[in-house]
Amino acid sequence: MKPIHAPAPAAADVSRRRADALMEWLRAYAEVRIDSRLFDERRCVPPYVILDLGNRGLLGMQIPEAFGGLALRSVDFFRVLEQLSAIDLSLASLVFIHNANGIRPIMGYATPSKRAELLPILASGRELSAFCLTEPVAGSNLPNLETTATPDGRGGWRIRGAKRWNASGWAGIVSVFARTVGEAGRLGQVTGFVVRQGMPGLRVGPESLTMGVRSIMQNSLFFEDVEVGPEHLLGEVGKGMEVADEALLIARLCMGALSLGGMKRCASMMARYAGRRMVSTGRLIDSPIARELVGRATIRIATVEALMAPLVETLDAGGYPAEEACMIAKIVASDALWETSDDLVEILGGRGYMENNPAAQILRDCRMLRIGEGANELMTLSVGRRVDHSAALHQLLSDRLGAPEISEGLREAALRARDRCLSGTAIQAMGDRSSALSWAYTLAGRVAIRGLVLASARAAAATSRRSSSEPMDLVVAMAERQYATAFKEAVEGPASERLIMPARAILDVVAGYSAAIGDIEQAPPGMEEAIDPLLRRDPTGGGFPSMGHLPGNVDPAKLPPDPIATADAVIEIASLTTEQRKRLADRLLRRREGVVSKSRPETSLH
């Protein structure tokens, strides 16, 4: 994982000052210009916000100064994202997707001419970027990518396929990943390309309405033989996954930063409310239940900070942390924010369920982080699958964090989990060998997650200069307990393993629920969204229901072609004499009244 064009960050003190200025501006700007609830309800970030963010440099935070960017170092880039997510998780998600998924492939892998053309546009926010990897049948299962790049015989390719969940509604610059087509139509490896909106064959599809982060537009993108040349390549032919993996690595760390900002906002609201709310025993904050909820939030925050710190330091030292470690950071951080946002709603009670307070929106928005850039459950399995093969992960544990015993324990847990799950009785219970192996990988992944958290917490506690009021000792104690539990469950099997029944048995059990609740599927009339047939170019298309039987309506299928609806007819009418136009107007009037003579061909104007 090495970009063709190396990053060009600013000096550490310059980067820090720029980030501090951005954070100070964001705090003031949020007071008077950001209305998160309104953005959420309208499902749209107002254009002035995008313009303001672009003018301040937030849409080109790590782009080199030569292209108009701020060239922030990673530690400062993530600080700004943390600040923005504390203000609005949806807006922060838009900014991180643009800066990481959208810009990184172009900044690191585009041709020099494309970098010179596109990076200044992206840095200023004049256009947004999209990252088109996910497909309707290939989410986490990337080997199933169906978008193709077929050679056109002239040194270029024609891209054909469909992508979704790209934050692409406003994007003018799109990184797309497709499998090249070789001889005899055989699909090859993934290759990356950068394309622009407006290129023939690139079409924006319908918008997907989401539960949270609703001010980001999520549109499908269709590539219908989009012609690209070598100048559109991202990296080398057949090495597109290297380009995508670099962007995803950064994006997962961005999610860690977003989760930190969100948790700190939740903890602040919890403490403010509990310090003011009076209950029968006095202030709510004096209740041990409330103090436990707020305390858990502080532990989660300190845990994620300890986990993120060495990974960010590695980036700023010019390297890349282990991919598995970045996956783990995303898993732990997004799970922690989800739990903290739920605790916020809980401590606020009825107020937490009210839309005029931000708790409900935070809960909806942060749910995306657990499935974006790879669903947490599937990434846990992926981490477990890599345990035996990731030298970078074990090097991080042993050398960087000084925990060789955890590295060895992880290998042991993975081996014992695999041996247990692949025994004859276990395979029979799981249904087949593949399912049993996937479960073993999942258990090993859980050990890896808890092992890295523990090693990071110990390292942070040993070198921390924090005040004694911060709970690092408790963070370590809780991490040790969670690691021990994960190790034991991998070796012996968790109690929940009994729930893994054969698929047929599960389907039979659930099918029985219909006796109590029926088989429910709502099928209301819905909204009338299609253009009225009498106003469309083609009155017979669009699936609009026929209303010809109603007074004042006609059957669209029986309408004759309208000569003034085509460009040719318009040109023809413009060339008519005054007398001919009068006759045409008379004929159209008579046709509306249903009295056109069938003996004369209506297409004649003479």
* 101-149 pLDDT per residue, tens: 999 999 999 999 999 999 999 999 999 999 999 888 776 566 778 999 9
Confidence of residue 184 (pLDDT cuts 50, 70, 90): confident
Which of residues 504 and 59 earns the better pLDDT score? 59
* Residue 132 confidence (pLDDT): 93
Residue 542 to residues 528, 538, 558, Cα–Cα distance (Å): 12, 8, 15
In this structure, what DSSP letter does residue 398 have? I
Cα separation, 573 vs 569, in Å, equals: 6
Mean pLDDT of 60-81: 98
Pairing of strands 282-283, 278-279: antiparallel
- The residue among 568 and 238 whose pLDDT is bigger is 238
Q: How far is residue 598's CA from residue 602's CA, in Å, rounded to a whole number?
A: 8
Contact 192, 243 (CB under 8 A): yes
Q: What angle do CA 599, 600, 604 make, to 5 degrees?
A: 165
Fold for the domain defined by 12-128: Butyryl-Coa Dehydrogenase, subunit A; domain 1 (1.10.540)
Given this model, what pLDDT does residue 603 score? 43
Q: Which DSSP symbol is given to 142?
A: G
- CA 68 to CA 60: how far, in whole Å? 8
Mean pLDDT value across the chain: 89
Separation between Cα atoms, residue 65 and residue 18, nearest integer Å:
12
Give strand pairing partners of 132.
176
pLDDT(606) > 50:
no
**Nearest partner of 380 among 140, 20, 121, judged by Cα:** 140
Which phi and psi (to 5°) does residue 355 adopt?
A: -75, -15
Out of 3.90.1150.10, 3.40.47.10, 2.90.10.10, 2.40.110.10, which CATH number does the structure's domain 131-242 have? Answer: 2.40.110.10
Residue type, 469: S
pLDDT of 597 strictly over 60: no
| Local confidence band at 567 (pLDDT 50, 70, 90 cut-offs) | very low
Reference 176, options 138, 210, 132, 110; nearest CA is 132
**In the predicted model, is pLDDT for residue 596 greater than 50?**
no
In terms of Cβ atoms closer than 10 Å to its own Cβ (0-12, 13-18, 19+), residue 35 is middle
Ordered by start, the domain boundaries in the chain are 12-128, 131-242, 377-508, 560-599
Nearest to 346 by CA among 360, 365, 366, 367: 360
pLDDT digits (tens, 9 = 90+) for 334-353: 999 999 999 999 999 999 99
Long-range Cβ contact pairs of 26-34 (< 8 A, separation 24 or more): 26/58, 26/80, 26/83, 26/84, 26/87, 27/83, 27/87, 30/87, 30/88, 34/87, 34/88, 34/91
How many C-beta atoms surround the C-beta of residue 230 within 10 A? 11
Token digits for 167? Answer: 């934050």
What tokens were used for 121? 């546009």
**Separation of alpha carbons 435 and 428, rounded Å:** 10
Strand pairing partners for 161? 223
Distances (CA, A) of 512 to 71, 498, 504, 560: 59, 20, 12, 54
HSE-up (13 A, CA, CB side) for residue 406: 29
pLDDT, residue 602, reads 43
In angstroms, rounded to a whole number, what is the distance separating the alpha carbons of residues 45 and 38?
A: 9
